[in-house]
A and B are shown apart, each in its own frame.
Chain A
Amino acid sequence: MAGELELSRRGVLMVGGASAALATVSPAEAQTPPPDTAPTQMAVSFEINGADRTLELDTRTTLLDALREHLNLTGTKKGCDHGQCGACTVIVDGQRINSCLSLAVMHEGAKVTTIEGLGTPDDLHPMQAAFIKHDGYQCGYCTPGQICSAVAVLDEIRQGLPSHVSASLTDRPRATNEEMRERMSGNICRCGAYSNIAEAMAEVAGARA
């Protein structure tokens, strides 16, 4: 079948690298074999944007789906759903993670911050304000993930953690353009707003220094 062949060829060409970002649709998902374990429900409690929440979830529910489908926090976006694009980035216990590659039940007791928890339209987080000022987006789909990641990146630099482009592993890194670009490489922007994102980050980093 031409259609099917086309799909599997595309699968072959696209998977494997982060460059596959938004296009991985596996033919496997179309031909689900009968399940041998019945779906299992479990309770999980965590703190989402400062509020205690308890949910009863199918164990398969990712943190991303729990946020979007069960808590109506749709600011966090689903891009590739395979950890390749960064649109689902949230901050858990102070660290940025891909919420799509984590099960909700693995976060019992965790503190989760999403874009909705960073700031509100009337009370923007400085990074949100800087993204608006510097036009750090076009379509806006990757923006919540970019902003959560950017906030965490400046934190990582402040903690003195090195990156792939740091010349020395032992000196304190500085918030240079090169450092920020490397550290933000897990957030893909289809519109290519990268240079403006880096400028927004530079402003926030500068204000803080």
Chain B
Amino acid sequence: MRPFSYERATTPAAAALAARARPGAKFIAGGTNLLDLMKLQIETPAHLIDVGPLGLDRIEETPEGGLRIGALVSNSDLAGDARVRRDYGVLSRALLAGASGQLRNKATTGGNLLQRTRCPYFYDTAQACNKREPGSGCAAIGGFSRQLAVIGVSDHCIATHPSDMAVAMRVLDAQVETVNAAGETRAIPMAEFHRLPEDRPHIDTVLPPGDLITAVTLPRPIGGTHVYRKVRDRASYAFAVVSVAAVLQRDGTGRVAFGGLAHKPWRVEAAEAALPQGAKAVAAIALAGARPTHENAFKVTLAERTLAAVISDARG
């Protein structure tokens, strides 16, 4: 690890201000992704601002009947919250399918959204990677790409976003609340929060550097059957190969988002109109334009079949 100075944040706005004032500064929340990357010198912040002392660890009801989840609520506490379990089951399920009990106790809501890709070439500093080192190339294209993206890819990067939680938040139409150094707040819809790689894969999200996530809000509950199905190489403690988050209503309508397929949770609202016709019809629209590699073409079929299993489970 490279040396760094360290401070404990006092207020959200002061934290954002401190991040702007110190070049090379980064926030640290649970530390479960950032410290991993710092040990490998993939992240090399000169200064850490610990956002732990900010509180921001409460889950409150909003005046609209939804929930406001503080950025520092742990993944365990969010999954275990009685209201989330009752009204937003897909979110509890997605969280419980991620990482391990130990990691979920430390991982936070904000940190989970901003965790970086698990592309093996991003992790290997001997390899070309446009995300880690802009302009260096992409060793994954033509390399071991079984785990990587099949849709929304570019000639510069085919990485996926690894979060399970984010896929459920996308299907629930969550919003990410932020504050910047000037004290201005913003609410960013999950649909826009994560970017596609295009020609700037080193930028994962639309959040400007130094802006702090303060909360994620969920709109009023929408009822329905909530399902998160994660397909992975072993039964537990592995990232998704493909995942499906769905909220399905009795009349056959619903919402669907996919994980493991793209640089962001993959949801195509227009495809959801085809839900009454079944998984094939939805996948034909949602995954139109997929550009898999020779190693991960199976993901397109797997995504459709996983959705078929989800629909059939939900119908009981």
Q: Report the Cα distance A11→B121, complex, angstroms.
A: 9
Interface size range of chain A in the complex? 35 or more
Q: How many A-B residue pairs have CB under 8 A?
A: 175
The answer to whether residues A98 and B238 also contact, given A8-B124, A35-B2, A59-B6 and a CB cut-off of 8 A, is no
Q: Min CB distance, B32 to chain A, in Å?
A: 5
* Residue B206 CB within 8 A of the other chain: no
Q: Report the Cα distance A13→B120, complex, angstroms.
A: 7
Decide if B40 touches A106 in the complex (CB within 8 Å).
no
Of B35, B99, B103, B143, which contacts A62 at CB under 8 A? Answer: B35
The answer to whether residues A101 and B85 also contact, given A12-B121, A27-B126 and a CB cut-off of 8 A, is no
The answer to whether residues A12 and B124 also contact, given A83-B36, A169-B89, A182-B236 and a CB cut-off of 8 A, is yes
Decide if A96 touches B101 in the complex (CB within 8 Å).
yes
The answer to whether residues A98 and B3 also contact, given A28-B41, A29-B41, A186-B103 and a CB cut-off of 8 A, is no
* Identity of the chain A residue whose Cβ is nearest the Cβ of B126 in the assembled complex: A8
* Residue A39 CB within 8 A of the other chain: yes
Residues on B with beta carbons closer than 8 Å to the beta carbon of A156: 101
* Residue A67 CB within 8 A of the other chain: no
| Number of chain B residues whose Cβ lies closer than 8 Å to a Cβ of chain A | 60
Residues on B with beta carbons closer than 8 Å to the beta carbon of A45: none
Stretch at the interface among B42-50, B62-70, B209-217, B302-310: B42-50
Q: Min CB distance, B139 to chain A, in Å?
A: 8
* Identity of the chain B residue whose Cβ is nearest the Cβ of A59 in the assembled complex: B6
* Residue A140 CB within 8 A of the other chain: no
The answer to whether residues A161 and B76 also contact, given A12-B144, A29-B40 and a CB cut-off of 8 A, is yes
Decide if B6 touches A42 in the complex (CB within 8 Å).
yes
The answer to whether residues A98 and B32 also contact, given A12-B127, A15-B123, A16-B120 and a CB cut-off of 8 A, is yes
Decide if A19 touches B85 in the complex (CB within 8 Å).
no
Q: Report the Cα distance A10→B315, complex, angstroms.
A: 44
Q: Report the Cα distance A101→B79, complex, angstroms.
A: 21
Q: Min CB distance, A194 to chain B, in Å?
A: 12
A161-175 at interface with B (beta carbon < 8 Å): 161-164, 166, 169-170
* Residue B1 CB within 8 A of the other chain: yes
The answer to whether residues A28 and B2 also contact, given A12-B124, A12-B144, A97-B102 and a CB cut-off of 8 A, is no
* Residue B223 CB within 8 A of the other chain: no
Q: Report the Cα distance A169→B235, complex, angstroms.
A: 19
Decide if A37 touches B101 in the complex (CB within 8 Å).
no
Q: Report the Cα distance A81→B121, complex, angstroms.
A: 20
The answer to whether residues A40 and B4 also contact, given A8-B127, A27-B125 and a CB cut-off of 8 A, is yes
Q: Min CB distance, B164 to chain A, in Å?
A: 10
* Residue B106 CB within 8 A of the other chain: yes
Choose among B24, B42, B79, B120 the residue with the greatest number of A CB atoms under 10 Å from its CB. Answer: B120
* Residue B179 CB within 8 A of the other chain: no
Decide if A185 touches B3 in the complex (CB within 8 Å).
no
B243-298 at interface with A (beta carbon < 8 Å): none
Decide if B76 touches A95 in the complex (CB within 8 Å).
yes
The answer to whether residues A35 and B233 also contact, given A13-B120, A89-B102 and a CB cut-off of 8 A, is no
Decide if A96 touches B105 in the complex (CB within 8 Å).
yes
Residues on A with beta carbons closer than 8 Å to the beta carbon of B239: 16-17
A142-156 at interface with B (beta carbon < 8 Å): 149, 152-153, 156
Decide if A26 touches B123 in the complex (CB within 8 Å).
yes
The answer to whether residues A170 and B125 also contact, given A28-B40, A58-B3, A105-B6 and a CB cut-off of 8 A, is no
Decide if A101 touches B105 in the complex (CB within 8 Å).
no
Decide if A101 touches B32 in the complex (CB within 8 Å).
yes
Q: Min CB distance, B249 to chain A, in Å?
A: 19
* Residue B149 CB within 8 A of the other chain: no
What per-residue 1/0 map shows which CB atoms of B25-45 lie under 8 Å from chain A?
000101110011001111000
Choose among A4, A59, A86, A103 the residue with the greatest number of B CB atoms under 10 Å from its CB. Answer: A103
Of B31, B76, B96, which contacts A106 at CB under 8 A? Answer: B31
Residues on B with beta carbons closer than 8 Å to the beta carbon of A19: 233-234, 238
Residues on B with beta carbons closer than 8 Å to the beta carbon of A27: 124-126
* Identity of the chain B residue whose Cβ is nearest the Cβ of A58 in the assembled complex: B3
Decide if A98 touches B39 in the complex (CB within 8 Å).
no
Task: Name 6 A/B residue pairs within 8 A (Cβ), A-sorted.
Answer: A19-B238, A101-B106, A152-B101, A162-B80, A163-B96, A166-B96
16 further contact pairs, Cβ within 8 A, besides A4-B126, A11-B123, A185-B235: A8-B127, A12-B143, A36-B2, A37-B2, A39-B3, A60-B3, A86-B102, A98-B32, A101-B31, A102-B106, A103-B28, A106-B52, A162-B80, A164-B93, A169-B92, A181-B236
Please list the 6 inter-chain residue pairs (A to B) with the smallest Cβ-Cβ separation, ordered nearest first. A186-B100, A185-B236, A28-B125, A8-B126, A185-B237, A169-B85
